[in-house]
Amino acid sequence: MDLLVNILIILIKVVGLTFVVVLPLVPISVYFERRFSAVIQDRVGPNRVGVPLTLLGAKKDFSFFGLIQPMADGLKLFLKEDFTPDHVRKAFYWLAPVLTVVPSLVTVCVVPFGSDITVAGKAYKLVIADLDVGPLFVFAVSSLAVYGITLAGWSSNSKFPFIGGVRSTAQMISYEIALGLSVVPVLMNYGSLNLSNIVQQQADNGWLLLPLWGKSAPWAMAATIPPGSSGSRR
């Protein structure tokens, strides 16, 4: 019985934290990124998609600042044509996006989403896998996305996309080195590789990001932003 309860709790964590918390944040983040990029580039950005009230006889549609744009993008994602060129290596063509998306979702396993919750007198952590090597797990799994980029170029069966894939692979590896070094001050300050312990220490003693607030290592954040932004193509 205890085994079934533990399996049920794990499934609830996986479905709840990954598909209810993390994935809905993706379209919201994309919307705000597009709006912010529009401000930088002196553009309007997404501001048209809304409720088509004119179809119901109204004189004007309800745009709602374009906040329904993520819903339109999600609907387009499910309805767009699934096209596979004839000249590609089909197995690797399908495997490449999987090797890019899956590692990103797997890294969520070690991210703590909140403090412990008590159910039937027993405390449960709001983390799917409370590993003692959390940062190492994140770097190890996220580095697998490099193979997706390489396979994407190779599966095209053309030399120019393959050269581009190799270039992006080398770029990602170089950024991972800088990101790994930026985490070292955090680990030295807290003396732990468990992300739950690190988050709890920050809750008790303040963030390392902010100077003059207990322990501080703002240079680590400064070293994270350039490779993080470049590695995510931003």
Last residue of a domain, one of 29, 55, 80: 80
Q: Are residues 93 and 132 in the same domain?
A: yes
Residues 103-113 as b/e (b if ≥16 CB within 10 A, e otherwise) read: beebbbbbbbe
Q: Kindly state whether residues 125 and 142 are assigned to the same domain.
A: yes
Nearest to 234 by CA among 18, 40, 100: 40
219 and 117 housed in the same domain: yes
142 and 229 share one domain: yes
Do 115 and 139 share a structural domain? yes
pLDDT digits (tens, 9 = 90+) for 94-133: 899 888 888 888 888 888 887 777 777 777 788 888 888 8
What would you report as the CA-atom Rg of the chain, rounded to the nearest whole angstrom? 22
Instruction: Looking at the structure, tell me whether residues 34 and 142 fall in a common domain.
Output: no
Angle subtended at Cα 167 by Cα 172 and Cα 90, rounded to the nearest 5 degrees: 95
Q: What is the pLDDT of residues 205-218, one digit of tens each?
A: 777 776 655 566 77
Together in a domain, 17 and 116: no
Note whether 68 and 142 are same-domain residues. Answer: no
Task: Check whether residue 76 and residue 88 sit in a common domain.
Answer: no
Contact 47, 60 (CB under 8 A): no
Asked whether residue 70 falls in the same domain as residue 138, the answer is: no
- Asked if residue 218 and residue 131 are part of one domain, the reply reads yes
Domain that holds residue 23: 1-80
- Residues 186, 138, single domain; the answer is yes
Give per-residue pLDDT as tens, 157-204. Answer: 888 989 998 888 888 888 888 888 888 888 888 888 888 888 888 888
> What's the pTM?
0.77
